[in-house]
Chains A and B, each alone.
Chain A
């Protein structure tokens, strides 16, 4: 329990530092949110700045922002001025999270299945296929896979929509989720296969075999131990899915937060950028926390360590 508190406290500190860094970096960058708009006269510019509190000294702006955060107010968007950041997110975040969750499930399920297959039939075709698959996952990044999938399934076979969200219709999910999930599936498969191979050769499994315990039991024990490295990878996996969402949303034209982020950053929409940074960092930190707890559930050595 105490352990949980410590981790929670550390996570909050981390989040705070991340927000602070992002805040000051954004404001120190040259240019501002209104500079790129055509033909804006200095008087209007000054007024706009005043309206959004951009003329106040930086530390004060930061304090205001933090205060707002505590009330759940992420501030107004500086570019899409009819909306607050929270409103924009309430539409974009569910989209990104849906795709992300689906991709996570597909990657885990597929990766574990492939990894088990490769490890059980040790020197067979499956093992080599998994190796090749893993290599292609590294060599063919998601921004190459995305247009290729569009070409083959969207334009070639005309089986799936080339892009767009279409209010969440399920055919529109398929290609984006595939782009996100495939590379991660390969990584997980390889990780699990290697780990399982190690565990099956370990002294503790040898003992199980020495006592003639039934095969299913041996495998159950082995997989539980072998799963640990995969579990550790889940943290970076979440981060990778979030990263990949930027590409996927851009190529497939999906209205998620990734796409907002790039345009916001280029347009110096401070509040929107900060909002995205906070949300993303919070998600990653939260996910890592869950993974840590799960690790403790499976591995008693960590619990007591």
Chain B
């Protein structure tokens, strides 16, 4: 009596994490997903908040306003409000100013501070006897722009957070659309075979003749520049490859002996499909899915880059890169940061997808 095979073959998770880079890219993606999900909520800057005073500020971890900026703002105040100012002191969170005006002091002057981004509403501490001078305390609103701000004065990191959220959402949603279409068409073609198969594959071949971008542009023209339907457009384009893979897998599994055995046992087509074909198809399809997501994200960035995708004030990585490309001379960081984030996302997804593919290979016989 021959003996058992020594050890049970390693489970899928084990095989996956043995691949180089699988763990690292999974962590990276988890981080990016968290950033996209919670970033906009937790981060103090709102993605559409415009800081008129801070247009195109370079990235830095130092707080704004710097001393120079404060002086500049105060000089600006003096000019605008036609008063004289003496800086009486500085506290932890603000400045102490003595304002002397030629006429009676008009409290409306202080509205300047309410409007400005740098300052918060001033508080009058002392009034002089003759009413010409007041001592006010003006708190300074400390802002940090780790990634700098764009040409409109919006914080880049906030925009990147929201862009991540949108890119990832579009990625997943469009992939689901591609998955559904692909599985439906490919599965039917593979399982039913015959003329249906021929007809469907002809259709796929024809649609392949038009490069992706032309098709998407046509579709976006038809659908309009509507964010919600962008992912439909992309999914409708990417389903072609999915259909081919699903069809291939269905055919391969259908040819396996255990399917013939099920038929010999007397199982009906439904039982054969759900008990035998579907479970054995899942792994390779999942592997392809993980490689589909980055393609979809790339497609969305591409379309947004051309101005046909996501619209303002919402933003996506592609849109950010397009903006960055325009101001590349004066503010290269506006291109570099979103490009890096995109690169990390696509890179991690691809490494993970490759690892997934290799972990599922040779698995189901």
Contacts and interface: CB of A to CB of B under 8 A. Distances in A.
Touching in the complex, A and B, CB below 8 A? yes
Interface of A: 13-15, 17-18, 22, 25-26, 28-30, 135-136, 138-141, 143-144, 146-148, 150-151, 155, 239-240, 242-243, 246-247, 250-251, 261-262, 265-266, 268, 273, 276-277, 280-281, 284-285, 288
27 contacts: A18-B209, A22-B218, A25-B221, A29-B222, A135-B350, A138-B294, A138-B347, A138-B350, A139-B347, A143-B302, A143-B318, A143-B321, A144-B339, A144-B342, A146-B325, A148-B339, A150-B325, A151-B329, A155-B329, A247-B302, A247-B306, A265-B218, A266-B308, A280-B214, A284-B209, A284-B211, A285-B209
Interface of B: 205-206, 209-214, 217-219, 221-222, 224, 294, 298, 301-302, 305-306, 308, 318, 321-322, 324-325, 328-329, 332, 335, 339, 342-344, 346-347, 350-351
Most chain B CB inside 10 Å of its own CB: which residue of A139, A265, A288: A139
Nearest to B325: A147
A251 B325 contact: yes
B209 A147 contact: no
Report which residue of A28, A147, A247, A276 has the largest number of chain B beta carbons within 10 angstroms of its beta carbon.
A147
B133 to A, nearest CB: 51
Contact of A277 (B210, B294, B321, B328): B210
Contact of B306 (A139, A144, A242, A250): A250
A247 B212 CA distance: 13
Given A29-B222, A143-B302, A243 B211 contact: yes
A150 B301 CA distance: 20
A263 B254 CA distance: 48
A268 B350 contact: no
A138 B346 contact: yes
Given A246-B213, A284-B210, A147 B324 contact: yes
Contact of A14 (B205, B301, B302, B306): B205
A243 B351 CA distance: 25
Contacts of B206: 13-14, 17-18
A156 to B, nearest CB: 9
A132 B253 CA distance: 35
B216 to A, nearest CB: 10
A85 to B, nearest CB: 15
Given A139-B344, A268-B221, A144 B321 contact: yes
B217 A261 contact: yes
A151 B328 contact: yes
Contact of A262 (B210, B217, B318, B322): B217
Nearest to B291: A138
B294 A155 contact: no
B129 to A, nearest CB: 60
A143 B301 contact: yes
B325 A135 contact: no
A288 B224 CA distance: 32
Given A14-B205, A18-B210, A147-B321, 17 more contacts: A13-B206, A14-B206, A17-B206, A26-B218, A139-B346, A139-B350, A141-B298, A143-B325, A144-B342, A150-B328, A151-B332, A155-B329, A262-B217, A277-B214, A280-B211, A281-B209, A285-B209
Contacts of A136: 343, 347
A96 to B, nearest CB: 13
Contacts of A143: 301-302, 305, 318, 321-322, 325
B211 A239 contact: yes
A30 B305 CA distance: 23
A254 B324 CA distance: 20
Main secondary structure of the interface of A (DSSP, over half): helix
* Interchain residue pairs A-B with the least CB separation, the first 9: A147-B325, A139-B347, A139-B343, A239-B211, A139-B346, A29-B222, A243-B213, A144-B339, A143-B305
A89 to B, nearest CB: 15
A78 to B, nearest CB: 14
Contacts of A15: 209
B246 to A, nearest CB: 19
B347 A29 contact: no
A139 to B, nearest CB: 4
Contacts of B302: 141, 143, 247
Contact of B305 (A247, A261, A280): A247
Nearest to B335: A147
Nearest to B347: A139
A250 B301 CA distance: 15
A239 B211 CA distance: 6
Contact of A246 (B298, B306, B328, B342): B306
A242 B324 CA distance: 24
A266 B302 CA distance: 16
Contact of A26 (B205, B221, B351): B221
Contacts of A13: 206
Contacts of A284: 209-211
A276 B214 contact: yes
Contact of B210 (A28, A135, A240, A280): A280
A261 B214 contact: yes
A265 B217 contact: yes
A22 B205 CA distance: 16
A247 B213 CA distance: 10
B38 to A, nearest CB: 24
Contacts of B339: 140, 144, 148
Contacts of B342: 139-141, 144
A152 B198 CA distance: 51
A119 to B, nearest CB: 19
A33 to B, nearest CB: 12
Nearest to A250: B306
A285 B298 CA distance: 25
Contacts of A26: 218, 221
Nearest to A155: B329
Nearest to B223: A29
Given A136-B343, A140-B343, A28 B222 contact: yes
